[in-house]
Structure 1
Amino acid sequence: MRSASPKDSQSATASNDSKLDLEITEARNDSHPGMASMLRPGTNTGGVITSEEYMTEDEKKVQDLKDFGYHKFRWSSLWQPAEINPLNGKSYTFPIFRMTDAYSTAFWLATIGFFVAFLSWFAFSPLMPEAVKADLKLTNPQVTHANMASLGGTAIVRLIAGPACDRFGPRKVMAALLILGAIPSGLAALVTSAGGLYAVRFFISILGATFVTCQAWCSTFYDKSVVGTANAFSGGWGNMGGGVTIAAMIGLFERYRAAGYSPHLSWRLCFPTMPVPCLLLVAGMILLFGKDHPAGKWSQRHQFSGTAVAIAQGEKIELDASERAEYERRAADREKGPAKAANFRAADPADAGKRVATVDTAQSEPITFKRLLVILADPRVWMCIMCYLLTFGLETAMDAALPGLLFTLFQSNTFSAIDAAYAASLYGLLNLYARPLGGVVSDLLFSKYGLRGRVIWLLVTAFSQGIAMIGLGVYCNRDPQFSGVMWFIFLIGTTGFLANGANYGIPAIICPSAIGTVSGLVGAGGNVGGLLYLGIFLAKPGVKKAKTLGTKFWIAGVVNSGAVLPFFALLIPGKFSVL
């Protein structure tokens, strides 16, 4: 065996030095158990990640799949520690049953916060047909106007909540919304007129903006391979609050009636005894047990190695005031500056053409007018807005319209307004499986076909909802049976909620540094859609004897399907394709 020559020794030393130069120093995160380690400010990442040269061919193939968005699902990942993307601190897995894990905590707090917000936001709807309408002597148009007021406020606040999430973090914004929403919820007991009802429902609709914070919070903790699933489960289960509130508020109202209280007082007592305590309790839990970001504080979100890689690739990173203050404090403590101040070495020529995707390195950044214009110029953003306008918009309108439709069609001695409300609540409860399934399928398609797979799934499900609506309208204008109407409601709910779940996995990929802003735009679109559908329902109320009760539904279905069709052009290869 020959001895090592000086030349060999020098080569080995150079190789070792090269490897050492590529190492990323991690800071232990003992203060935030279950969270990923962070990049120490000033760490030299070498500008690009070149660990591939130490991989076998099989390992490279597996890594390529992961880079594309594929991460093999294992049932054990539901309760085992999260597997972390070291570039951004997000989880590749979905450990929802590991309650001590910070990623699981973020998911459940976002979900529960969304749930109680929707429970409170829709609390008026089940009491409106019998209790509130009679007590305040409201006309049918006034009831519709009250429903529209509850949507208008949410659209405005969602547009504000999105940029606020990017600036202050979704955890703080969600807690603030729950606390603010508890105030008008408590004041609902004092309403004595239609004008007062409009005002209270408008301000209660602040709670609807928690959709934005829920999506932004989950997108902050979960990676691109599983973000559709995480957002869909959180959004679907949280949105069930709108269905649960029907049974909960009616049941509470009946208990007060049975206890001897008048209808006038019974419906008023429901608000301070259920929605208000729920909102304040969950807001406290979020502030006490929640974390802003996998890095810990929101001001520390750019301390992962992905930020250093992004800067090395020539991307511009915007720091907000709190981040700059954090780094100035560290500098005063004789620590190096943030990743942007690191001394990067030149990229290895062997790595030419290799680039880490922005979705893997981006962190939420404060929105600017220039960036907002770029977002609004992206047709994929408008696709998400339009599809959510049509699907969630219909859901809010149907939650208000279904109890009245069922009661009008099937009123009898054995079918009361309360029975109609209970039957209508099944529509909202479809969120239990449909939205999560929409997100899971979206992630599976993304792993095989990329963003194109997600978009096809979204467009097909949104278009199908319109077809189901046309079917309901035509059926109701004939001789409808209760079972037939419920089957159409099942089809409408399933297709629409699948589309909602499909939508949730797209904003985090197309605009990863402005997730809150895009979620706010998409969410506001949903409320505008609710106003659109309620306008159609108000213009074409229909009459049972004339067999026109279904007209408003098939008109809404035509609008739905027709509005989705143009976005299929995004799938055509060529000049107008953006996929």
Structure 2
Amino acid sequence: MGFNPAVLFKAPEINPITHKARSIPFFNIINLYGRVFFFSWFGFFVAFWSWYAFPPLLNDIIKKDLNLTKTDVANSNIIALCATLIVRLIAGPCCDRFGPRYTFAGTLLIGAIPTFLSGTAYTRNELFALRFFIGILGGAFVPCQVWSTGFFDKNIVGTANAIAAGFGNAGGGVTYFLMPAIYTSLLKRGLKPHTAWRVSFVVPGIIIIVVASCLILLCEDTPVGKWSERHRAAEENLAAHGVQAKLVDAPTGGITDKVSNDGTNSPPSVSGEKIQYDATGDRKTSTYADHEAQLTEQQMLDTARGEIVVKPSVKDVFGVMFSPHTLVTAFCYFCSFGAELSINSILGTYYQQNFKKLGLTESGDWAAMFGLLNVVCRPIGGIVSDLLFRNFHNVWVKKVLLHTLGVLTGVFLIVIGVLNPKDQSTMFGLIAGLAIFLEGGNGANFSLVPHVNPHANGVVSGMTGATGNFGGVMFAVIFRYNSYPKSFWIIGVITIAMNLGLCWIPPISKKQIGGR
């Protein structure tokens, strides 16, 4: 069946076991799922905008005002990635413990503080400190993906995660338009450059506060309500299909064949019905033969068990983080997202270096293209991954796609580095081609992540996201000590080698329950 545009507006069909949506009501923010999806991507968008608000102004205005050297600028770009690495590692377990919505809002609110203080930097060290703490906002990626994973079913979760992250990452491109525009408008109002760039950071700070407040006031933790009640809701879902089970909220817990002892009566069986939500998000049912509703009792138990996130112990966190299946997604993201972050930081300067006629504004506009292509390229990676999974019903196809995109990314990086194009059309065309495979790989990666250790999705997402950031730091160091062309081909070689070295590891463990 082909794509029906109506699914972008109407309330989605719901998996009756997990209550996750099977389509994305992209233009229906009144609906519960549409509202959560909107704030998932828009929350990360404003976080990314503020996180990368410095580069558009740094290489010219701020560099001149603070008397920075080229080395100082490069070091500040590296420092901006360090806090994000730490926060992403912490945010993963926090999502599993407290829920992604409050982790998301907390990350935004904490990151808003140094954003407002950006204008107080008057020395190199003060700039480094502020950029470090603003890097907290980059950690918003983890709850963005975990929250999205919790609301969308396996058939569409790769697409949902890729679009949310792709639209969010576009904040790194939009900032090349927004920050110079805000700065210029302040100059026209009579402010001096010394003051105008400082005041410009107030704008993203205000928007971050507004979005974080909306996350708290207008959205839900899970499709069934509070994060703390997710286990009981799952038990009721099973009971509605005639399966009595007790979910234990502990890392070592699972589903047993015991009747729930909460004293409530089991809802009547609705086997064979498909649950939907109306425009306001209220639950309703319709008679529609559903696959999950016709599973055996054990299959429904395994489905529920595989979807429920448990509170992780320290031992469980490290066990999941360093499992070979998590390391595959982590180090593939090291290459793809790490390259994206480091290239975002230098691309405008690289264009100015190769094309002397481009000024600050025009080079920034062309550099923005690389980030803005996330709106298209990252979703394509997730969409293709989901389509392959729906056709082959095997997680291996997602992994094969991920490594294929990784190798092609490496090829483009090497070509750019070797050619070092002096022709604008060639350079911009190669960068656009690079974006297709690199950003598509990011989308394919977080299409695979929900299948890997789904009981600890926050930990897997946090480890993968943090390792991607670690790649950004390492590749930024390569750019720091080498010419831009040489750095491109070095990163390309690393990307190809790492993908080929990881391609033999199975996508998920044979012993894993859920995620298949």
Indicate the TM-score class for this superposition, using the shorter chain for normalisation.
0.7 to 0.9
For 1:316 and 1:373, the matched residues in 2 are separated by 23
2:309 equivalent among 340, 361, 364: 364
Give unpaired runs (5+ residues) of structure 1: 1-70, 321-329, 338-349, 543-548
Bigger Cα Rg: 1
Partner of 1:460: 404
What's 2:137 paired with?
A: 207
Q: TM-score, normalised by structure 1?
A: 0.77
> How big is each residue's C-alpha offset from its partner over 1:22-45, in whole Å with a ceiling of 9 and x where there is no partner?
xxxxxxxxxxxxxxxxxxxxxxxx
Q: Distance in 1 between matches of 2:418 and 2:146?
A: 39
How many Å separate the matches in 1 of 2:230 and 2:247?
15
Deviation at 1:440, TM superposition (A): 0.6
Q: CA deviation at 1:147?
A: 0.6
The DSSP-based 3-state class of the residue aligned with 1:433 is helix
Q: Partner of 2:82 in structure 1? A: 152
Q: Is the 8 A contact 1:309 1:361 kept in 2?
A: no
Cα distance between partner residues in 1 of 2:485 and 2:264: 68
Q: Which residue of 1 aligns with 2:256?
A: none
CA–CA separation in structure 1 for the residues paired with 2:115 and 2:87: 16
Look up the match of 1:292: 221
Q: Could you tell me how far 1:108 is from its partner in structure 2?
A: 0.3
- Point out the more displaced range, 149-158 or 558-567: 558-567
Of the structure 1 ranges 225-234 and 79-88, higher mean CA displacement relative to structure 2 is found in: 79-88
CA deviation digits over 1:512-570, x for unaligned, max 9? 11111111101101110001111111111x3xxxxxx4111111111111111111213
Measured in 2, the distance between the counterparts of 1:85 and 1:219 equals 14
Q: How far 1:309 moved relative to its partner?
A: 5.7
Aligned counterpart for 1:423 among listed residues 346, 355, 366: 366
Give % identity: 35
Residues in 2 aligned to 1:282 and 1:117: alpha-carbon distance in whole angstroms: 10
Aligned to 1:514: 456
| TM-score between the two structures when normalised by the length of structure 2 | 0.86
Query: Which residue number corresponds to residue 31 of structure 1?
Result: none
The whole-number CA distance in structure 2 between the counterparts of 1:433 and 1:572 is 26
Alignment of 1:33-432 (within 5 A): 73-272=3-202, 274-305=203-234, 317-319=248-250, 335=264, 357-358=302-303, 361-412=306-357, 415-432=358-375
Query: Contact 1:110 / 1:234 at 8 angstroms: preserved in 2?
Result: yes
The answer (yes or no) to whether the contact 1:225–1:443 under 8 Å persists in 2 is yes
Q: Does the C-alpha gap of structure 1 residues 404 and 377 become closer, same or farther in structure 2, counting only changes over 3 Å?
A: closer
Q: Secondary structure at the match of 2:503?
A: helix
For residue 443 of structure 1, the aligned residue among 381, 386, 389 is: 386
* Aligned position for 1:527: 469
Which residue matches 1:3?
none
Counterpart in the other structure of 1:21: none
Measure how far apart 1:336 and its partner are. 7.1
**Map of 2:498 onto structure 1:** 563
Q: Distance in 1 between matches of 2:158 and 2:68?
A: 42
Describe how 1:464-543 pairs up with structure 2 within 5 A. 464-476=408-420, 480-540=422-482, 542=483
Aligned to 1:458, what secondary structure does the other structure show?
Answer: helix
The residue type equivalent to 1:516 in the other structure is G
CA distance change for structure 1 residues 522 and 498 in 2, over 3 Å: closer, same or farther?
same
Alpha carbon RMSD of aligned pairs, Å?
Answer: 2.9
| Cα separation, 2, equivalents of 1:181 and 1:271 | 12
**TM-fit CA distance, 1:235:** 0.6
Aligned partner of residue 569 in structure 1, secondary structure: coil
2:405 and 2:440 in contact (8 A); partners too: yes
Matched letter for residue 496 of structure 1: L
Q: Is the 8 A contact 1:306 1:361 kept in 2?
A: no
Q: Distance in 2 between matches of 1:452 and 1:306?
A: 31
In structure 2, the residue matched to 1:434 is 377
Count of residues paired in the alignment: 474
From the superposition, tell whether residues 179 and 574 of structure 1 become closer, same or farther in structure 2 (CA, over 3 Å).
closer
Q: Which ranges of structure 2 fall in alignment gaps of 5 or more residues?
A: 252-260, 267-294
**How far has the Cα of 1:259 moved from its partner?**
2.9
